[in-house]
Chains A and B, each alone.
Chain A
Amino acid sequence: MKSGYASFLMLFCLHRFNGERSLSAIYHLFSGKKSSQTLQDSKWFQLERFFGTWKEATLNDIEALAEQLLENGLISPVQNRSYVLTEEGRRQFNEQMRQAFFPVHLNGWRYHASEKWFWYRLSLLVQTLSNVLHRTRFEPIHRHEETFIWVKQYLLSQRKMARELAQTLYEEIYDILSSVSEEEATVFTLRLTSFERIGWTNEQIASLLQKDPVYVHFQFQNVLHYMMATAEAKQPSVLYELMHDLSLPIPLTFSTRKTYEWLLRGKSIEEIAKLRRLKRSTIEDHVVEIAANIPQFSIWPFVSEKKAEKIMETVRKLRTRKLKVIRDAIADDVSYFEIRLVLAKEGKMW
């Protein structure tokens, strides 16, 4: 089945969103859109791992997938472009969760911006070493000037011989691939380019393994993120050197970062709105985004502990994240801003 794995991922997201977000939220999640809404969503619904991990997906793809799930009776619409799993959908989903591959190492939240460059460097380094050792001429597999120059300088700065460096790198990759599944190790190895073989596309690997390309894509991402996490934990290593200067930024939108800077300087929401000539509600959005992303950020200047307690109580009782439902249930005067802030800070689902 062509779209098998993508359907599974769709079910996963729809299950987590529980009818409270539309399809475009899923699209934004996969493509890694840096808006306050998407960033918060991925936290609230615990989908951080998928943030920015499938950038090729288009809104059309997502809609077509939903259409298919709908036709097969696995999901049903609740409101404008949101869906929940049907009885049958739940059954199939649970079954797949038990059997299907799940990208446990995937950490889009942390690596979405750096993974591509890490991979570019790694694969170009491997290609270069492979060709140097076999004394063959080659064309770099990436037409990316910065990567090209980085790898060149990296090689020039080495005190090791090419053979020695290759040995070390080989061992590091070997160790990592040994601790993932055979299939994942195969996917990753075939994506690499050597002196005699240009790396395979996801599609080609999929047809060798008789899987679908999306499945292969996520297997690859899973290994890549595992590799990056391992490298971060085990220093020094060649793999870590490949990533140490890549920034792993806190995912805040540009505008929010500005607001954050003002907050740190002690300005109030009102003052910042004036200073930046933005609407108060915009600044509130920023504050919510900050609360969701910066663990040490305190929300107490903006909401009283008593109110927060009440909000959480209601959330737990009603098992919902719908702002309106929550607000209606709390008779007292709480604002949407306060509710969102508490939800953002609490992060976890319930």
Chain B
Amino acid sequence: MVTLEQLLREKFGYDSFRKGQREIIEDILRGYDVLAMLPTGGGKSLCYQLPAYVLKGSVLIISPLVSLMEDQVQQLRQRGEKRVIAFNSFLETEVKRKAIERLHEFRFIYVSPEMLQSERLLHALMNIRISLFVVDEAHCISQWGYDFRPDFLKLGEIRKHLGSPTCLALTATAPPEVTDDIVHILQLQPLRRHIHSVDRPNIAIKVEKTEFIHEKINKLFDYVKMLQGPGLVYFSSRQWAETTARQLQREGIERVAYYHGGMDSEQRMLVQQQFLRGQLDIVCCTSAFGMGVNKENIRFVIHFHMPGQMEAYLQEIGRAGRDGKRSIAILLYTNGDEDMVQSLMETELPTDAQVKRLCESLLLYGAAPDSLEQQMSACSLTDVQKRILMYFLETEGIASSPRPLTEQEVAALYEKLIEKIESRRRWKRKKLLEMVKWIFHHSCRRELIVRAFQQSLEKKPDLCCDRCGFPLDGYLRVETEKKEFHFHGWQAELKRIFF
């Protein structure tokens, strides 16, 4: 029999397991349901990719982001794995149709949660042997989790439909109330928990405060010029990411681009690839560039705007130092930043007026599933707003009842919705407040981070945080020779492409 180490070497080309991987894999192979919390970049993907070569049947992976899924598929293919497929849009093409017919041939089946509403796909899945049911970024399942996705809530039911195959839930950022939700919703049992420290010891942490915004901008320019790249700079809005990228270019920093959800997918892909290939040093981005992005040598992550909560912060700085080498995370703070974050957060929640309009519309048209979507659009709700309202309607048992609603019912519903939105608002404020407290915290920042996840720090690294004190020297740019691109006219370039 081959040992796990042999498989690791043979299929993945690694010499040894990273912390936690072996134990997680062994428990899966023993048939336990596993909840695994490993830090960002800790190697969670391997925890289901390796068992796929031991278990009989297909591994089903549910992943929240299309781009993330595509990256994973690409990485597997790169390793020579051919038996991998991803379902992430309702567009039924010839290719997908055929794939569904021979679904059992695939070793890895990636699916977005909304695709699991497709009867055909679900049916096909029921007819094959699923050896492992993986929920990646499992914190999305909990309404108290970072980036809550109501679609994930149905996963418990779906798993049952598939005959309750062994389940692996993966996350990097889940405080206890969220892990409890995950266990409960997925009905993990018999369960083994593998909870590791959220800490990333190779990332030094620094917070810097300025009084005025222009000081902050200058600070950013200084750091970007001074620090060893490649690096990411996070902004809270698309507008900011774009303008700053352009400003940086004007400052003479050439290899900068921006990335956000408002760009068309090809341009986004180009920027991501350029960054991965080292054609770019710096990407100014929004949170759209994040979860799952796996470039091993990112040396710094700067937050120009603070995120709304600790989990988001941890996810975003977690892009740095995935090769295990020394990296740095700097958060720039200007007085009043939290107000902007707060107002951005508010816009993610439906307003009273919108809820009112929706309720009036429901009274008129009822809440049949297909019309509900339309009615929501008519109330000019954004996707994020729709998502949360849909969830509330579902928990109230309204979402799929085709019968008309009475006036009293609608009135009661309105009250309920307002109340729920209000409680969500309070929760978001609490999370933001936690973040602000962290910024103004007087002792070790790393300790406070792990405490937010109700863990304690086992060992403090030498290069810890600005409170513990550390020198910047090791993070400064050492002039390395860059592959400069010289453009000698299109004829020469076209020739170069082919010959």
Contacts and interface: CB of A to CB of B under 8 A. Distances in A.
A174 interface: yes
Nearest to B98: A149
Contacts of A129: 498
Interface in A183-204: 185-186, 188-190, 192-204
Interface stretch (B203-211, B266-274, B440-448): B266-274
Given A130-B498, A197-B485, A198-B279, A189 B493 contact: yes
Contacts of B348: none
B86 interface: yes
A126 B270 contact: no
B312 to A, nearest CB: 25
B270 A200 contact: yes
A145 interface: yes
B95 A149 contact: yes
Contact count band on B: 35 or more
Interface in A63-92: none
A139 B74 CA distance: 7
Contacts of B67: 143
A146 B257 contact: no
A274 B249 CA distance: 63
Interface string A312-342: 0000000000000000000000000000000
B28 to A, nearest CB: 28
A133 interface: yes
Interface in B252-288: 257-258, 263-267, 269-271, 273-274, 276-277, 279
Contacts, number: 88
A142 B269 contact: yes
Interface residues of A, number: 43
B490 A203 contact: no
Interface in A131-150: 133, 137, 139-143, 145-146, 149
A166 interface: yes
A194 B491 CA distance: 14
A142 B266 contact: yes
Contact of A143 (B74, B96, B277): B74
Given A55-B264, A182-B490, A192 B70 contact: no
A60 B397 CA distance: 37
Given A142-B266, A143-B74, A170 B494 contact: yes
Contact of A56 (B78, B257, B264, B496): B264
Contact of B490 (A145, A185, A200): A185
A111 B270 CA distance: 23
Contacts of B490: 177, 182, 185-186, 188-190
A207 interface: yes
Interface string B138-177: 0000000000000000000000000000000000000000
Contacts of B264: 55-56
Contacts of B499: 133, 166, 170
A194 B277 CA distance: 12
Contact of B494 (A139, A142, A189, A198): A189
B279 A170 contact: no
Please report whether the interface of chain B is mostly helix, strand, loop or mixed according to DSSP: helix
A198 B279 CA distance: 8
B90 interface: no
A188 B491 CA distance: 11
A146 B95 contact: yes
Contacts of B263: 56
Most buried by B among A126, A129, A143, A202: A143
Interface string A169-185: 11001100100001001
A104 interface: no
A192 B494 CA distance: 9
Interface in B443-499: 485, 487, 489-491, 493-499
- Residue picked from A129, A139, A182, A192, most chain B C-beta under 10 Å: A139
Contacts of B497: 126, 130, 170, 189, 192, 194-195
Contacts of A170: 494-495, 497-499
B494 A190 contact: no
B218 interface: no
B335 interface: no
B267 A202 contact: yes
B408 interface: no
Interface in A32-58: 55-56
A233 interface: no
A156 interface: no
B93 interface: yes
A190 B93 contact: no
B82 to A, nearest CB: 11
B289 to A, nearest CB: 14
A271 to B, nearest CB: 29
Contacts of A139: 74, 78, 273, 276
Nearest to A129: B498
Contacts of B267: 201-203
Contacts of B491: 174
A192 B258 CA distance: 20
A1 interface: no
22 contacts: A126-B497, A133-B498, A139-B78, A139-B276, A141-B269, A143-B67, A143-B74, A145-B86, A145-B96, A166-B498, A166-B499, A169-B498, A170-B499, A190-B493, A192-B497, A193-B270, A193-B273, A197-B485, A198-B270, A198-B274, A198-B279, A203-B267
Given A56-B264, A173-B494, 11 more contacts: A130-B497, A137-B78, A141-B269, A141-B273, A146-B93, A189-B490, A190-B487, A190-B490, A193-B270, A195-B497, A203-B257
Interface of A: 55-56, 126, 129-130, 133, 137, 139-143, 145-146, 149, 166-167, 169-170, 173-174, 177, 182, 185-186, 188-190, 192-204, 207-208
